[in-house]
Amino acid sequence: MKCQLMLIDGEWVEAADGGLNNVVNPATEEVFAQVPRATEEDVARAIKSADVAFPEWAKLSPAGRGNYLRAASELVMQRYEEIGRIMTEEQGKPLLEAQGEVKKAALILRYYAEEGERVYGRIVANVEANTESQVIYQPVGPAAAIFPWNYPVELLAWKVGGALAAGCTNIAKPPSLTPLSPLLFLQCLVDAGVPRGVVNAVTGPGTVVGRQLITSPIVKKVAFTGSTEVGRIVLADCASFLKKVSLELGGHCPLIVCRNCDLEAAVQGAVRRSFRNMGQICIAINRIYVDREIYHDFLERFVEVTSELMIGNGLTKVPCDLGPMANRDGLKKTQCHITDALEKGAKIAYGGKRPEGEEFHKGFFFEPTILTNVNHYMLVMREETFGPVVGVMSFVDLDEAIALANDTSYGLASCAFTNNLDEADRLSRE
């Protein structure tokens, strides 16, 4: 069985007490690897390491820091196949998608290598004579990166790349479901020569690792991507310490399909954005509003294209469009939303069950599901499912479509298809 260590002060180490967490393949439900289950002592060591390394890293020129990021980017690109394979094994997404994510992460590091050299200060006019006001951007200090399992390498790259380019050291908390691919990604930074302590990674439960990173007075900035529920807790804890925090939380993305749109483009976009990564994306489409004049044409084609998606184990069925969901909890929530909708009058236009076949007897597989006859009293139309299910309903005019799309407590993203520039402008604003 694989056992991947965590990164503290430039060394790959076990937990202080030897504790381990299992990593499960969602396509087979089998434990295939283990990682350390960090203790408070481990987290404290990682924080101290980042703190000690910070002054010298912050003094390094942006160009110097960029050289490390460029070198790491090259290594990630060289190792994308290996890292992507591990990601598919622990997260479930198809192999080509996983490898594509790793390639994008390499480009993100290169992006920050270049952008770090473009952080310009400002000279601001002052009302007082013989006085000049200057704005100079300085690294804030050791930063924590807490990121989710749905895009475990890309979302880490956005956080750690920006932090390192700005001159901050970093402590990453990989997601418990998918810790392996982020650790292999960070190995590229280590192998690129990033100084000891500049990058750290501590694996373990959020109640131990995340909580300590947030409450430590040494950690000056927290970047968190995850659920809205956990985000509220993170924000409250950071506020109590007057700590800088960046949050990207949940969404409930609507899609508005106008009558004058390119219908085929709308269908292809709806299928991709509703079901890619099994709907486990914060900007996945959860609800679709279609002009009643084209509703039936759209629905018929939407079902047809969705039915052509291939489902399977992303490692053994290449290519395939959809793998399993990442865990049992997500599968149960998806089933709960479908059951709630059916009890309130919805109908299944496609999917709604586990795929048939011997290969699906194990694993968290589920068919992409399209619901019709839906309304806003149903959970699927009000809450983020984070699964492969979408509700489709018609609208009379654009006023109604906008009202329905905005009938949510979420923000984050929305989509629309139209060939009318006036409609596009209005939808983008309202």
Q: Is 343 helix (H, G, I), strand (E, B) or coil?
A: helix
Q: What is the pLDDT of residues 148-159, one digit of tens each?
A: 999 999 999 999
Residue 312's nearest CA partner among 82, 150, 93 is 93
Report CA 11 to chain centroid distance, whole Å.
Answer: 27
pLDDT tens, residue by residue, 13-26: 999 999 999 999 99
Task: Summarize the confidence of residues 371-394 as an average pLDDT.
Answer: 98
The matching CATH number, chosen from 3.40.710.10, 3.30.930.10, 3.40.50.2300, 3.40.605.10, for 2-248 is: 3.40.605.10
Distance, in Å, from the CA atom of 149 to the CA atom of 226, rounded to the nearest integer, reads 9
Residue 109: which H helix or E strand, with range? helix 95-115
Output the CA angle 186-188-189, nearest 5 degrees: 70
The pLDDT value given to residue 127: 87
For residues 162 and 114, the answer to whether their CB atoms sit within 8 Å is no
Report the distance separating Cα 279 and Cα 367, nearest Å: 11
Asked whether 171 and 50 are in contact (CB, 8 A), the reply is yes
Nearest 5 degrees, angle CA 306-CA 312-CA 316? 145
**pLDDT, tens digit, 9 for 90 and up, residues 286-342:** 999 999 999 999 999 999 999 999 999 999 988 899 999 999 999 999 999 999 999
| CATH number belonging to domain 253-429 | 3.40.309.10
What does the pLDDT read at residue 411? Answer: 86
Residues marked as catalytic: 248, 282
Name the segment(s) of the chain with CATH classification 3.40.309.10: 253-429
pLDDT of 126: 87
In this structure, how many other beta carbons lie within 10 angstroms of the beta carbon of residue 240? 10
In this model, does residue 214 exceed pLDDT 90? Answer: yes
Q: Of all residues in the chain, what percent carry a pLDDT higher than 70?
A: 100
Q: Average pLDDT for residues 142-171, to the nearest whole number? A: 98
In the chain, which segments carry CATH 3.40.605.10? 2-248
DSSP string, 149-203: SSSTTHHHHHHHHHHHHHT--EEEE--SSS-HHHHHHHHHHHHTTPPTTSEEE--
Contact predicate 86/25, CB 8 Å: no
Q: How far apart are the C-alpha atoms of 101 and 416, rounded to whole Å?
A: 25
Q: Nearest Cα to 33, choosing from 85, 98, 106? A: 85
Quickly state the pLDDT bin for 202 (edges 50, 70, 90): very high
d(CA 402, CA 77): 42
Q: Give this prediction's pTM.
A: 0.95
Q: What is the mean pLDDT of the chain?
A: 97
Provide the strand spans (E) within 170-317: 170-173, 199-201, 221-225, 244-248, 253-257, 285-291
CA–CA gap between residue 367 and residue 322 (Å, rounded): 9
